[in-house]
Amino acid sequence: MTSAPFDWIDEQARARERAGLVRGLRPRPAETTLLDLAGNDYLGLTRHPEVTAGAAAAARRWGGGATGSRLVTGSTELHAELERELAAFCGFESALVLSSGYAANLAAVTALAPHGSLIVSDAGNHASLIDGCRLARGTTQVVPHADPAAARKALGTHEGPAIAVTDSVFSVDGDAAPLAELAAVCRESGAGLVLDDAHGLGVLGAGGRGAAHAAGLAGAPDTVVTVTLSKSLGSQGGAVLGPARVIDHLVNTARTFIFDTGLAPASAGAALAALRLLCREPERAARAREVATRLYELLVGEGFSAVRPDAAVVSVRAPSPGAAVHWAADCRSAGLAVGCFRPPSVPDGVSRLRLTARADLSDTQLAEVVAVISRTAP
């Protein structure tokens, strides 16, 4: 008997169902009383009046979309302003904004890993770095998580161009990469370092200048940083920061820049407004870190197994994928939105709730969060 073309999809769906791994969309209303610790709006800026006004003004001036690749339809003054100010803020010579952090990671990794090169990639890296490695022409060697000695060993055997790629703050557990050690290893072996600072920008470093800045790597000729505009900066989009020659190289070779419509003006306007706000109110970064530490201490005080946060992500272990799903659903019913990580986002056996510590959370709200987590615990 011949089967219909997509029958295998139903088999996969049944397997997901059996494993308790079904994902689905649910509606998100514009107004809600839910306390949101699921999003990545670390500084509480996404609905800030200056940020939404920045988006609206940019859309009115430049239109609802960028109209095409910036190489085809031209590059606006708004994009140039955002790139200049972002590079200056983080301490890099140059920046290039792209339509997402995902696109920025694909751009950086593929453009910097030509045929014959080696990519040394941390086992805990974000999916977008992993996909960058998959698309790159170079060979990837995955090394154990946060292990500079393993990176040294991998780089030591290679002749030709090489890069090490890592998240600065790992998105699931919220732990930081050993950047200083990794940078030293890269320098010893003449490799470049590509660092995804999606969760560091706006949270780590002086006034939120990011993990590279905090580690003394800002502006280094051998360091390239990718960021997203969709977390601390409350907007959407991504950027690559680094030496001007690397950015020029990306403009000429990065397919997710060349063949993708430029960042939407509204997103560029919102990100620029958020960046200016952060420059004026640098204490927001320290507050996000403080809230994370407080949340962690309260959770551990209640007996939960949590990972000490290095930035603003707080991760709490759940006994199983199914338990994590129910726990998150019960939190939601009790008015608290939390993230739920289970396979394939994390390996089997380490499902967890993921809470994001926002700078604008009050101590009363934190106490409420911990009360709900405790009340609903499996």
Ligand X SMILES: Cc1ncc(COP(=O)(O)O)c(C=O)c1O
Which residue in 42, 102, 257, 327 binds ligand X (CB under 6 A)?
102
Instruction: Considering only the stretches 195-203, 258-266, 299-307, 340-348, report the one whose residues sit in contact with ligand X under the rule CB under 6 A.
Output: 195-203
Q: Is 51 in the site for ligand X (CB under 6 A)?
A: no
Instruction: Considering only the stretches 98-106, 201-209, 215-223, 301-309, report the one whose residues sit in contact with ligand X under the rule CB under 6 A.
Output: 98-106
3-state helix, strand, coil in the chain (%, to 5): 45, 15, 40
Q: Is 171 in the site for ligand X (CB under 6 A)?
A: yes
Q: Which residue has its beta carbon closest to ligand X?
A: 101
Q: Which is nearer to ligand X, 76 or 100 (CB)?
A: 100
Q: In angstroms, rounded to a whole number, what is the distance separating the alpha carbons of residues 51 and 178?
A: 33
Residues near 142 by beta carbon (within 8 Å), at least 6 away in sequence: 121, 122, 123
Q: What are phi and psi of 36, to 5 degrees?
A: -95, 105
Q: Is 101 in the site for ligand X (CB under 6 A)?
A: yes
Q: In angstroms, rounded to a whole number, what is the distance separating the alpha carbons of residues 127 and 125?
A: 7
Which residue in 122, 167, 175, 260 binds ligand X (CB under 6 A)?
167
Which residue in 70, 126, 213, 287 binds ligand X (CB under 6 A)?
126
The torsion region of residue 351 among left (phi > 0), alpha (psi -120 to 50) and beta comes to beta
Q: Minimum Å distance from CB 256 to ligand X?
A: 11
Q: Which tokens is 274 given?
A: 């958020």
User: How many residues make contact with ligand X (CB under 6 A)?
Assistant: 14
Q: Which of residues 224-243 bind ligand X (CB under 6 A)?
A: 228, 230, 238
Q: Which is nearer to ligand X, 102 or 304 (CB)?
A: 102
Residue with tokens 């197994």: 305
Q: Minimum Å distance from CB 151 to ligand X?
A: 18
Residues near 28 by beta carbon (within 8 Å), at least 6 away in sequence: none
Q: Is 117 in the site for ligand X (CB under 6 A)?
A: no
Closest to 124 measured CA to CA, from 257, 310, 294, 255: 310
Q: Which is nearer to ligand X, 228 or 232 (CB)?
A: 228
Which residue in 100, 223, 315, 351 binds ligand X (CB under 6 A)?
100
Q: Which of residues 261-290 bind ligand X (CB under 6 A)?
A: none
Q: Which is nearer to ligand X, 356 or 376 (CB)?
A: 356
Answer whether 138's CB lies under 8 Å from 119's CB: yes
Which residue in 46, 76, 94, 105 binds ligand X (CB under 6 A)?
105
Answer whether 75's CB lies under 8 Å from 96's CB: no
Where does the chain show beta strands of DSSP type E?
35-37, 94-98, 118-122, 139-143, 162-167, 192-196, 223-228, 238-242, 313-317, 336-341, 352-356
Residues near ligand X (CB under 6 A) are 100-102, 105, 126, 128, 167, 171, 196, 198-199, 228, 230, 238
